[in-house]
Structure 1
C-alpha cells in the first residue's frame, strides 16, 4: 500500500507547493494592481450624436458606437441570455468560478493547448478595462486578482452594468444597446428572445458570430444560448421551442437586413449632421468624438424627409428629361450560369445610394432585362424599361448599351415593380428657414451626401440670376419708385465706349418687348430691360450699398448694371437670409442650425438665442417696403413666371424664379410669411443644364413639392397693409397702385440719365430698342469707366462666412 501513498503524497505536495507559489505571487502582485477609478468613475468613450429638434438621430461620429444604459433599463430576457452564455453562476461566485477553472484546466490539459479560459463576467470586465487578450498564465493570474479586487469594491449589478456597456460586439458597436441598434435597429426593450440570444452569443467571437457577415455560424451560436437558457431555467420549454423556430440563418439574415433597411431610410440629415460636427470640433477639438456630446439641431424629421424626397424627385425628373447615358460600368461574366459569389464580387465596388440600388445585368433584350442583386434575380419589363429603351436596341453603341455584365441602377416604382434608372450628374440644394427666427427647418446640401459631401447650401457661391431682382426693386422703393412706376420694356444697347470693354446688348428671355410697363409687371414677368433701366435710375453704387441690409457681401456684387440681372454671387443660405426680410416684414434674421448642445452627462452647455423679427432683430427695410415687395412677388406666383406654384391653391405665397446665362443655374426663392424656402439646381462644376431648364422648370417643382408638405394644415396668412401708403395712378390708365405717402411725381423723364449722358458727351440717346434671366458675358461698368472686372465666378471653392451659432 505504501507504494500507492507515495504518488498521492507527491501530488498533494505539488498542489501545496503550487498554491503556495500562487499565494506568494498574489501577495507581491496585489499592491501593484491598478486602481479601480476607471470603473468606479466610469466614463466610456461615447460618440458625438446629432439629433433633430423632435429627437430623431441624424448623425453619429466616433470610433466607438455606444449607448450607456443603467442596469435597471436592461430587460430581464437579455440579462438572462448574457448570464446563460457567459457566466450562469455570476450572482453566486466571488469573481472567479472554481468549477469553471477546473473544467477549463482539464480541457486544456487534454487538448495540449489553452483553448478555454473559463473567464467569468467579472474577469472579462477586468480584462476589457485593464489587460490585453493575450492568453498567458501570467495575464490570467492578474485577471483573477483584478476580478477579486473588483468584487470587493463593486456590487454585482454594477459589474454587470459595466460589462453590458463596455463589451465589443462587432459592427463598431460597444455595449448591448449599441449592438441592438446596429444589428436590429431596435432599443433594448424592443428585442425579442431570439434577438437577445443572438446578441448574447457575440462576446465570445464578434467577428465569427456576426449575423450580418456569417448568419450560419451566428445561428448555431444563437441556438446554443437558447439551450443554455433552458437548462438554467431562465425560459421554459415552450419559449425555447418558439424561439428556436426563429434561430435559423435565414431568419437572422431577414432580421438584420430589415434593420439595415431601417437605418438606410433614417432621417436624411447628413449635411445638417456634418455642419453640427464641425461646430462641435471647433468647440471641443478631437475629444468631441468621445465625450458623449449631444447636439440638438433646429430641423425636424418631417421637414427633412419632405425636403429630401422633393429634391430627389426633382433631380430624377430632370435626369429623365435628358435621357439615359448608359450603364455605370461593365464586368466580364463567363458564359452560362454564373455563381452568386462571382456576381456579389462584381457588385462589391458599387454602393447603393438611397433608393438607387446597384445591380448587374445577366440577360438583356429590348423586351426584358434580368439583373442580379444580393442573392435575388429580378426581371424588369414594360414601363420599367422605358427610360433605357434606346440603349437596349442593337444599334446602340457598345459602350452605352444595356447588355450582359452591365452595372445598372434599380428603383422600385409606386406600383411595386422595378425600373432601371441612373445616378444623376446634376446637383441640387434646398434650405427652408423660419422667417421670424432663422431656425433652419430643413437643409439638403446635395443629391447624395455619400457621393458628394460638398454642401451646396452653404458653400456653392453661384450667380442668382433673376431671383436677385427683388433686392434691386426693394432699393428702388426707397428712391421714390413704387410698384406703379413706369419704365420702358424696350431694347437696350451699350457700346464699348460706355462699357469700357465690349458692346453689350441685353435681351429679354423670350426676345419680345412690351414697351412701357409698371415695375409690378416688370418683376412679375421678369423683364430684364425694366430691371436694367431701374438700376440705371437708382445707380448701381446705391443698390450695392443697399444689398448689405439683406446680408449680401458687397464684394460679391460689383456695382455694374449686370447686377440687375443677378450677375453677382450668393449661396442658397444667403438667398434665404435675404428673402426672410421680405417674409417677416423687414427684419434681418440670421439662419442657424444648432439649437442646443448637451455634454455627456446630459447637462445643457450651449443654447442659441436668436434675434427674433419684431422683437430683438434689427429692422433693415421699411415695413411698407416689405409689404409692397411681398405684394409684387405674390403676383409672380399668381400670374408671372412662377404660376406653377398655384397648384398649391394658396394666396399667401410669394417668390421669384432665377435662371443664369446659358442655363447654368436654376433657382426659385420663395416663401410663406412664416417659412422661407430656396431651391437650386445646377452642376457642381458649372455648365449648361440644357435648353429650357429655367428656374421655373427645374427648381420651382422641388420648391412646390416641399412646400406642399411643409404647409399642410397651415392656415393662409393675410398680411395687413401698413400705414403710410397711398394709391397713385400709374400713368398708363390701367390701374392705381400703392406708393409711399411721401411719394412725389417724377419730373418728365430724360431720354438718358445725366451720368450716362456725360459718358456719351452728348444729349443723344444710344440706340435703344426692352423675361430673360440670361446674364451677359461681361458686366457693364457705370462709374467710373476703367475696364470692368468680371462678375464673381460661380465656383464652389469659396467658403461662406462662418455660420453664426
Structure 2
C-alpha cells in the first residue's frame, strides 16, 4: 500500500465525527457482529420489541450463516479476482478501483466496475444501505476504513459472504450452493464457484434459465480474471470455461413476511443506535431487545405527522426515488434486464404490490413482475390499473413507485419528525423520523436543523439567571451588534418593533430583537452555558458564542430538543433555581394560551407549555415543550433545505404547521391512556398564564438605565451588573459601550 493512501485512510478514519454528521456517526462493529464470526447455521438477527413486548421487527441477518473455513478456496479467489483484486493490500478503499471507475464513467464504459472495494460493499449491504446519495457514499467509505481497523481479512470475507444476495432466495452464502446446484459448497467444481462469484453482480439477470448466454459470459469473465490475477492457470481456465452451467430448478418461493410499517420502521431505526454497543452485542439467543418506545404512542405520532404532511405533499410534485443516467436507458434496448438492475441501486424498499417505473423518452417504463417456474418459463405480471401518468416535473431517467391503483409516487418534498420523552425516565416513548419510510428511510429525529425561535427559552432562562424578571419591560426595537467588520441586526418576524414590552410578552410573541437584547445583556457565554447544561448542544459547540445563536441559528436535532425540554422541568432539573425554571414554565404557558401557538391549542388539549420556532426563510418549523409527564419536539422541513411551501396562502410557521401536530399527538395519547390527564402542581396547570397585562392598562413610563442605552425600563428598574463580552479582542472596543443598541 502506498504511503499516500495509508495517510488518506487514516485521515478518513480520524475525521469520522466531522464528515459523518449528516448521516450519524458510523460504527463499524455491527458490520462484523451481525454478519460474521457466527456459528455455522446460526441466526444473528435480534428481535426488537416495544416496551409492552409487542414486536417491532428484527435487525441483523435473519438467516443461516457460514464460517470462512467452510467456503471453498476457489470461491474466495473468484470473488476477490472479480470484485477486488487489491483486497489483501488496501485498508478498505481501493484507489486504483476508484480511478478505473471514474475513467470508465467518463468514457461511457459499463464494464469498468463500480470502484467499491469488498469492504465498502459489505458496509453498503450491512450498515448504510443502498441509496445512491453522497451522504451514503461518505458513510460507506468511513465504515469500510473502520471495519478494516477492527477485523481481519478473513472476517471481512466471511461477513461479506453472509451479507450479500446470491439470488434464488439465497440471502447469504449458507444456502447458495444448494439453491443453485443442489449440492453443498465442498462439492462444487471450479466453474460452479466462478459462477456463484459472478452471479452476485445481477442474480436475476444472470440466471441461466433466463439468459444462458449472459450467464456463461459472466462466468467466463470471472475465470479470465482468476487467471489474470494468478489464482488459476490458463489450462484450468480453459477447462472450466468448456463446462456447461447445469443449475438445478429454483426452490419454491417462501411465504413473504410483511415489511415494517412506518411506525415500526422508525422504532427499528431507534433501536439500531444501541445494537453493537456494550451488552447488546451479547443479547441472549431468543431474547428480544426491548426499547423504551410505546407501540401505540409510536402509531399515534405517525398518524399525527402524516395527517399534516400528506395533504401538503399531495399539492407538490414528488421528488424521484432516484435517477438513472441516459446511458442506462440506451443500454436497455439491447439488454432490458440491465435497466432494472440499475434501478435496484437507487430505489429504497417498496411496499407490497408496488413496482418501479422509470421516465423514458416515450413515457413511463413499467417494471415487470417476473417469476421463474421449475421449467424455466418466465411470466410477466404487471399491475392491472389505469394508465399511469408521468409525474409533474419529472425528468428523463427518474425512478418512481407505481401503486396498484395506478398512482405514481416518489419521495415527499416535505418531511418531519416527532420525539416524545417520558419525564420519569428521560427516555423516548415515541420517535418518528418521517413519513413514507419506504421512499426515504433517513431518520430525521437526529437530523441537524436550525431551531429558530424554539431556542429562545434558553435565552430567557439565562436572562432570569442574570436577574431579569418576567414582568420587567424591555425595548422591542432595532438592535445592531458589531463583530469585527460585520454588523448583525435582526428583525422581528412581523416587522414591528419600537415599543417597550414585558419580558413575558416578548417570549409569547417571539420577538427577535428582544431575544438579541437579553442575550447581549447576560452574554452569549451564559446563554451557551444554559443550552449545554440542558443537553441541547455538546460542550464544544462554539457557534453558541455568536449573537445569531440567540435566535436559533445553530443547528440541533429534534431528539436533543425534546431532551432539553425535559431537562428544563422545574420538578427535576438543577440547571437553574426552581423559581427561575417555574417562571420560564409560566411564560411558555403564555405562548400556548395567548402567543404564537394559541391557534393550534384553541380547542385544547390543556396543560401544555411550549415554544414555536421558524428558521430563516421558513426552512424549518418547530414546536417544542412539555405536558405534566412528557417532553416533546416536532420538526417540519425539507431534506433539500429549501423553504417550506405556503399553507392556505400563508407562510409556514411553527405555530401553524408544527404546533397542530403536537396538539393532535397529545390529545390522542391522553385518550389512549398513554400519558396522564392529571397535572402535577406546576404553574402551567392553570388555564391562564400568570403574567398578563390588560390591554387597556397603560404601559409605565420607561426609565432609562443609567448604565446603558436607555433601552430597559419599568417594573423592576434597570439592569444589575455589567454586560459581558464573549468576543473580547474580536470586536472594536466601542462595539459594547452604552448606546450600541440604539
Q: Give the TM-score normalised by the residue count of structure 1.
A: 0.51
How far apart, CA to CA, are the structure 2 residues paired with 1:319 and 1:575? 25
2:497 alignment counterpart: 513
Shift of 1:420: 2.3
2:632 alignment counterpart: 677
2:48 alignment counterpart: 51
Shift of 1:650: 0.9
Q: 2:729 aligns with which of 770, 775, 786?
A: 786
Matched, 1:409 2:397: no
The C-alpha deviation readout for 1:455-499, integer Å capped at 9, x for no partner, is 5434x444321001112223334455444333233x313264xx4
How far apart, CA to CA, are the structure 2 residues paired with 1:560 and 1:406? 42
SS of alignment partner, residue 711 of structure 1: helix
Q: Is the 8 A contact 1:494 1:503 kept in 2?
A: yes
SS of alignment partner, residue 503 of structure 1: strand
How far apart, CA to CA, are the structure 1 residues paired with 2:403 and 2:499? 50
Q: 2:534 aligns with which of 534, 540, 550?
A: 550
The C-alpha deviation readout for 1:678-703, integer Å capped at 9, x for no partner, is 12234557554457343335544544
1:351 alignment counterpart: 347
Matched, 1:528 2:515: no
Listed as ranges, the matches of 1:311-460 within 5 Å are 311=305, 316-324=310-318, 328-329=322-323, 348-353=344-349, 355=351, 357-360=354-357, 371-372=366-367, 374=369, 375-378=380-383, 390-391=392-393, 400=394, 407-411=399-403, 417-424=405-412, 428-445=416-433, 456-458=444-446, 460=447
Which structure has the greater CA radius of gyration? Answer: 1
Aligned-residue RMSD, C-alpha: 5.7
Q: Is the 8 A contact 1:428 1:679 kept in 2?
A: yes
Give 5+ residue unaligned stretches, structure 2: 1-38, 74-160, 164-168, 184-202, 206-248, 370-379, 713-722, 733-742
Listed as ranges, the matches of 1:459-538 within 5 Å are 460-489=447-476, 491-494=477-480, 496=482, 499-513=483-497, 515-538=499-522
Q: Is the 8 A contact 1:634 1:651 kept in 2?
A: no
Shift of 1:329: 3.8
Listed as ranges, the matches of 1:617-636 within 5 Å are 619-636=574-591
The C-alpha deviation readout for 1:578-611, integer Å capped at 9, x for no partner, is 21134x43424xxxxxxxxxxxxxxxxxxxxxxx
1:769 alignment counterpart: none
How far apart, CA to CA, are the structure 2 residues paired with 1:264 and 1:732? 47
Shift of 1:648: 6.7
Q: Is the 8 A contact 1:443 1:457 kept in 2?
A: yes
How far apart, CA to CA, are the structure 2 residues paired with 1:338 and 1:307? 48
1:713 alignment counterpart: 672
Shift of 1:438: 0.6
Larger relative contact order, structure 1 or 2 (CA cutoff 8 Å, min sep 6): 1
Shift of 1:272: 1.4
Q: Is the 8 A contact 1:679 1:702 kept in 2?
A: yes
The C-alpha deviation readout for 1:510-537, integer Å capped at 9, x for no partner, is 2123733333322222122232333344
Listed as ranges, the matches of 1:28-427 within 5 Å are 45-52=42-49, 53-58=51-56, 60-63=58-61, 65=63, 205-207=178-180, 256=255, 258-261=256-259, 267-280=265-278, 283=279, 288=282, 294-311=288-305, 316-324=310-318, 328-329=322-323, 348-353=344-349, 355=351, 357-360=354-357, 371-372=366-367, 374=369, 375-378=380-383, 390-391=392-393, 400=394, 407-411=399-403, 417-424=405-412
The C-alpha deviation readout for 1:352-377, integer Å capped at 9, x for no partner, is 44549542269999xx9895553544
Shift of 1:207: 5.0
Shift of 1:652: 1.7
SS of alignment partner, residue 510 of structure 2: coil
Shift of 1:508: 0.8
Q: Is the 8 A contact 1:362 1:371 kept in 2?
A: no
Shift of 1:673: 1.7
1:578 alignment counterpart: 564
The C-alpha deviation readout for 1:199-257, integer Å capped at 9, x for no partner, is xxx999445799x999xxxxxxxxxxxxxxxxxxxxxxxxxxxxxxxxxx9x976x73x
Shift of 1:298: 0.8
Q: How has the CA–CA distance of structure 1 residues 329 and 129 changed in structure 2, closer, same or farther, with 3 Å as cutoff?
A: closer
Q: 2:654 aligns with which of 691, 695, 719?
A: 695
Q: Give the TM-score normalised by the residue count of structure 2.
A: 0.55
How far apart, CA to CA, are the structure 2 residues paired with 1:650 and 1:729? 20
